[in-house]
Amino acid sequence: MVERLRQGPGPEARPAAAAPAGPPPSRWTLRAIRATVARWDGLTLSGVWHALRRLGLALRSAAVQQHSPDPAYLDKEARLLAVLRAAAAAPDEVVVLFLDEMGYTRWPVPAADWGPAAPAPRPVAARAGSKQQLWRVIGALNAVTGQVDYAENYIIGRERVSAFYRHLDQRYAHARRIYVIQDNWSIHAHPDVLATVTALPRLEPVWLPTYAPWLNPIEKLWRWLKGDVLKQHRLAADWPALRRRVRAFLDQFAAGSPALLRYVGLLGDGTLAQACHPA
């Protein structure tokens, strides 16, 4: 039964579809399972539920199966793991930084929030002002210490990216090598930006596979920022205050943070964690 559920509904489940003459449903429902399993044909939906429970089966939320189409995925992943191991072996000489950019707006992102029970009005993500406004941040996360460096502006273009590379070069003036792990955003490969990298011989970009955010843990830092600061905030009418709060959130990691490393998956049993923090 488990194997059958993994395969997804087939033509047998068509009677459970909204229009029986159309295609079968794309996912399993109690009706689709009853129509597929002949011996359960006479059961009520509650009976099907109980039968599934007796088999140790339950309704579960699906997870997105991520896939990178990059034909060089394995080679790029191997390169990433190699530089992480280099930093773990010589943390005073080799620095590995995960780099990324994110943007946010003055209006809050709606999210679940505690408030009066129904029938009172639901929590509101209040908006204010006539403009949504947009602000951008570029950040770098140290894979070994959890230190976060960042810069911000309403535009993060080639000049800002180049300036941030120069900042990182100065920030880690003691290092023999600075590996900057980054995605394939076109600005990263702009001739002006590449010229800046060439002028900083200790700094070397390490390119991630295309569409592989799971290999860039700073993405989880942005998720934490959005969850704690940007979702359901009450500062839509005070744009400067909201930006100060974002800076305050990022500033708490200026000296490094084991808690941040653990949150983003760089401490623990994961592949990236084992590479940069071997047991």
pLDDT in tens, 34-64: 999 999 999 999 999 999 999 999 988 888 8
Least confident range from 13-17, 29-33, 70-74, 220-224: namely: 13-17
- Report the top-level CATH class of 73-114+128-276: alpha beta
CB-side neighbour CA atoms (13 Å) of 3: 0
Q: Work out the average pLDDT over 57-78.
A: 91
Single out the residue of 182, 101, 145 nearest to residue 262, CA to CA. 145
pLDDT tens digits for 226-255?
999 999 999 999 999 999 999 999 999 999
Total-model pTM:
0.85
Cβ count within 10 A of residue 27:
9
Q: Work out the average pLDDT over 201-212.
A: 97
pLDDT band at 19 (very low <50, low <70, confident <90, very high): confident
Give the span between the Cα atoms of 165 and 218, in whole angstroms. Answer: 16
* Residue boundaries of the structural domains of the chain: 2-54, 73-114+128-276
Q: Which residues of 74-104 are buried (b: 16+ CB within 10 A; e: fewer)?
A: eebbebbbebbbbbbeebeebbbbbbbbbeb
Q: Is the pLDDT of residue 14 over 70?
A: yes
Judge contact between 266 and 272, C-beta under 8 A. Answer: yes
120 or 165: which leads in pLDDT = 165
Give the amino acid at 230.
Answer: L
Q: What is the pLDDT of residue 277?
A: 82
- Could you tell me which residues are beta bridge partners of residue 102? 137
Single out the residue of 64, 66, 63, 62 nearest to residue 213, CA to CA. 66
Q: Is the pLDDT of residue 23 over 90?
A: no
Mean pLDDT of the chain: 93
Q: What is the pLDDT of residue 118?
A: 75
Q: What is the pLDDT of residue 174?
A: 96
Instruction: Give 226's DSSP letter.
Output: I
pLDDT band at 16 (very low <50, low <70, confident <90, very high): confident
